[in-house]
Structure 1
Amino acid sequence: MHVPDGFIDLPVSAATGVVAVSAVAVALRGARRELDDRTAPLAGLVAAFVFAAQMLNFPVAAGTSGHLLGGALAAILVGPCTGLLCVSVVLLMQGILFADGGLTALGVNITDMAVVTTLVGYGVFRALVTVLPRGRRAVTGAAFAAALLSVPAAALVFTGLYALGGTSDVPLGATLTAMVGVHLLIGVGEAAITALTVGAVLAVRPDLVYGARPGRGAGGPGAPLKLRVGGELVDAPAPEPSEAPEGPGAPVRSTRTVRVVALVTALVLAGFVSYYASGAPDGLEKVAADQGIDRKAEPHHADGSPLAGYGVEDITDARLSGGLAGVIGVGATVAVGSGVFWAVRRRRTHGTGAHGTGAHGTAGAPEGTATGPGGSV
């Protein structure tokens, strides 16, 4: 659903740019509360996974494909504010390096693909896990529904933005029907990818799923996620709040294995599996061609980029060119994303150290090393 330059006029593009900048600023502040020493490195890898998964267009109808948007997935894994930043980093890398999504339309794309999907996705997810029975299946099912609804919500918002600032005169009723209809189908694929990914992380490290932690909506404040082990329901391990007293000897469960698996998965998806992705136009491209939205589309300002179109310039072998571009994209996204989240985390740590952690806390102790009642985390 990457909107190119020329679809939306400059006044509306500028207005959405203000919305996007404001949302990112709020998310930067909110991410300080969501990230700790273990999850901050993972957030950059979540962004890389979203980047890689977006390269995998899957067929949804005759002559139409779709791809992951990733807002709901990122929000559930690392929190809504951090998730918004993850998708924003992905869109920035795609626009600058790969000429995917217009640069003057960057505000439109961040507003639609990052802000809307994370807010709608996480809102639906939290509402569902609050009322559903506590358990891994409930969390996975809520993730499925959240991702499913986030995609047509983004399609609806795009149509509204086009109604305000579209550069071509098109029948809005037909455009709305076509956009929401095809993106409902794409939403099914988004939901399947999101549920599988969330379910996989829950199976091995439920403490790393933000949306499944106590107080984050999974069963209500203070209610631990329940997992079935040996036929019995037991509390999943979950981290204590970072403000809890910490001791220098508190054990920390390593996230190294999770980080390695996430990085390798992203590299394989972008560097190898992407070659087999559908070549059909995605939902927005198809609707734009059918309805005439693309009549005034403009060439991308980064068309001269050596990676434009997800291929490496001067490499004639399509498989090698696309795979290498994907690997470069994953690396760039990890680097930029990790840098952003490291800076956010460092700012929070310095703020905590400056003010202390209370009469019974240790102001200089690293955060994220508390030991919960269910075991060390």
Structure 2
Amino acid sequence: MHVPDGFINTPVSVAAGVAAAAAVAVSLRGARRELDERTAPLAGLVAAFIFAVQMLNFPVAAGTSGHLLGGALAAILVGPYTGVLCVSVVLLMQGILFADGGLTALGVNISVMGVVTVVTAYAIFRGLLKVLPPGRRTVTAAAFAGALLSVPAAATAFTGIYALGGTTDVAIGKVFTAMVGVHVLIGIGEAAITAATVGAVIAVRPDLVHGARGLAAPLKLRVDGRLVDAPAAAAPVPAAARSTRKVWATGLVTALVLAGFVSFYASASPDGLEKVAADKGIDQKAEEHAAAGSPLADYSVKDVDDARLSGGLAGVIGVGATVAVGSGIFWTVRRRRTDEPAAAEPSAA
């Protein structure tokens, strides 16, 4: 759902940019409360994983494909504020390096794909956790529902922005029906990917899932054919003391394989927005991307003729750049949180 340059007029694009900048500023402050010594490095990995999975377009209807938006996944794994930052980093890397998503439309894309998806998914996720029995399966089911509904919510948000600043004269009702219709189908794929990823992390390290904190069910033992609560450990190891290196390495390798190899087999059909734009004529004033001459434009490496190698190298470079930039931002945010209490303490007389 990357909005290119030319779909939205300048005043609305500027307004969306201001709104996105405000959301990022709020998220930077909120992320200080979410990030700690374990989750700060993982947040950069989440951004890189979202980048990689977004390269895997999957077919959803005749001649149409979809891809992960990632807001729900990021919010549930590392928190809503950090989730907005994760998606923003991904969109920034895609726009600057790969000419994917217009630079003048960056504010629109962050608002639609980052803020709207995170807010919608996390609100639904937390609401379901309050009414459903606590447990890991509930977390996974709530993640599925939140992700599913976040995608048509983003499509609705785009339609609203287009109603305010669309550059072509197309009936908004037609745009809304087409956008929401196809993105409900894409939402199913989003939900499946999100639930599978959250479930996999919970199975290995539930303490690293932001949305699962405080929801761990007591360990059960079977005694004489009955399940009973296991006795608490005499000296539990603090969660903060548990290393995240294995999880981080596994996640990075997975992202590299997805972007560098599996992406070659992704659907070549236009995604939901591209298909609707072509069918309804809202792409009539689309502009060439400012970074169209980038050596990585269109997720291929310039002067590398082999399509498989070119796309794979571009994917690997994208994952590396995203994890580096994301990790740097999140470590900086984490350090500011650590430094603030010390700065607030009065000096000794």
User: Same fold by TM-score, threshold 0.5 exceeded?
Assistant: yes
Could you tell me which runs of 5 or more consecutive residues in structure 2 were left unpaired when the two chains were aligned.
Answer: 233-237
Evaluate the alpha carbon distance shift between residue 307 and residue 253 of structure 1 in structure 2; reply closer, same or farther with a 3 A threshold.
Answer: same
**In 2, Cα distance between equivalents of 1:83 and 1:252:** 24
Structure 2 counterpart of 1:347, which letter?
A: R
What is aligned with 1:254? 243
Contact 1:4 1:101 in 2 (8 A): yes
Deviations 1:289-321 (A, max 9, x none): 000000000000000000000000000000000
What is aligned with 1:294? 283
Matched, 1:226 2:222: no
C-alpha displacement at 1:130, in angstroms?
Answer: 1.2
Evaluate the alpha carbon distance shift between residue 233 and residue 46 of structure 1 in structure 2; reply closer, same or farther with a 3 A threshold.
Answer: farther
What is aligned with 1:269? 258
C-alpha displacement at 1:172, in angstroms?
Answer: 1.0
C-alpha displacement at 1:354, in angstroms?
Answer: 2.9
Superposition RMSD in Å: 1.7
C-alpha displacement at 1:352, in angstroms?
Answer: 2.3
Residue 5 of structure 1 aligns to a residue whose secondary structure is: coil
Percentage identity across aligned positions? 74
What is aligned with 2:49? 49
C-alpha displacement at 1:229, in angstroms?
Answer: 4.7
**In 2, Cα distance between equivalents of 1:306 and 1:137:** 44
What is aligned with 1:162? 162
What TM-score do the two structures reach when normalised by structure 2?
0.94
Evaluate the alpha carbon distance shift between residue 60 and residue 227 of structure 1 in structure 2; reply closer, same or farther with a 3 A threshold.
Answer: farther
Structure 2 counterpart of 1:77, which letter?
A: L
Structure 1 counterpart of 2:262, which letter?
A: V
C-alpha displacement at 1:22, in angstroms?
Answer: 0.2
Contact 2:207 2:239 in 1 (8 A): no
Could you tell me which runs of 5 or more consecutive residues in structure 1 were left unpaired when the two chains were aligned.
Answer: 215-223, 238-248, 357-377
**In 1, Cα distance between equivalents of 2:27 and 2:315:** 27
Matched, 1:153 2:153: yes
**In 1, Cα distance between equivalents of 2:176 and 2:14:** 23
**In 2, Cα distance between equivalents of 1:105 and 1:87:** 15
Contact 2:207 2:213 in 1 (8 A): yes
What TM-score do the two structures reach when normalised by structure 1?
0.87
**In 2, Cα distance between equivalents of 1:338 and 1:32:** 14
What are the equivalent positions in structure 2 for 1:277-288 lying under 5 Å apart? 277-288=266-277
Structure 2 counterpart of 1:348, which letter?
A: R
Residue 306 of structure 1 aligns to a residue whose secondary structure is: coil
Structure 2 counterpart of 1:73, which letter?
A: L
Deviations 1:135-190 (A, max 9, x none): 11111000000000000000000000000000000011111001000000000000
**In 1, Cα distance between equivalents of 2:327 and 2:130:** 31
The structure richer in helix per residue is 2
**In 1, Cα distance between equivalents of 2:228 and 2:2:** 43
**In 2, Cα distance between equivalents of 1:180 and 1:233:** 47
Residue 299 of structure 2 aligns to a residue whose secondary structure is: coil
C-alpha displacement at 1:234, in angstroms?
Answer: 6.1
Contact 2:221 2:229 in 1 (8 A): no
Of 339, 342, 346 in structure 2, the residue corresponding to residue 353 of structure 1 is 342
Structure 1 counterpart of 2:216, which letter?
A: L
C-alpha displacement at 1:228, in angstroms?
Answer: 5.8
**In 1, Cα distance between equivalents of 2:240 and 2:47:** 28
What is aligned with 1:106? 106
What is aligned with 2:314? 325
**In 2, Cα distance between equivalents of 1:198 and 1:234:** 25
C-alpha displacement at 1:118, in angstroms?
Answer: 0.5
Structure 2 counterpart of 1:161, which letter?
A: I
Alignment: residue pair count: 336
Structure 2 counterpart of 1:113, which letter?
A: M
Evaluate the alpha carbon distance shift between residue 142 and residue 304 of structure 1 in structure 2; reply closer, same or farther with a 3 A threshold.
Answer: same
What are the equivalent positions in structure 2 for 1:1-377 lying under 5 Å apart? 1-214=1-214, 224-226=215-217, 229-230=220-221, 232=227, 252-355=241-344
**In 2, Cα distance between equivalents of 1:227 and 1:191:** 27
Contact 1:143 1:191 in 2 (8 A): yes
Deviations 1:83-122 (A, max 9, x none): 0000000000000000000000000000000000001011
C-alpha displacement at 1:230, in angstroms?
Answer: 4.6
Evaluate the alpha carbon distance shift between residue 271 and residue 233 of structure 1 in structure 2; reply closer, same or farther with a 3 A threshold.
Answer: farther
**In 2, Cα distance between equivalents of 1:281 and 1:193:** 20
Deviations 1:313-334 (A, max 9, x none): 0000000000000000000000
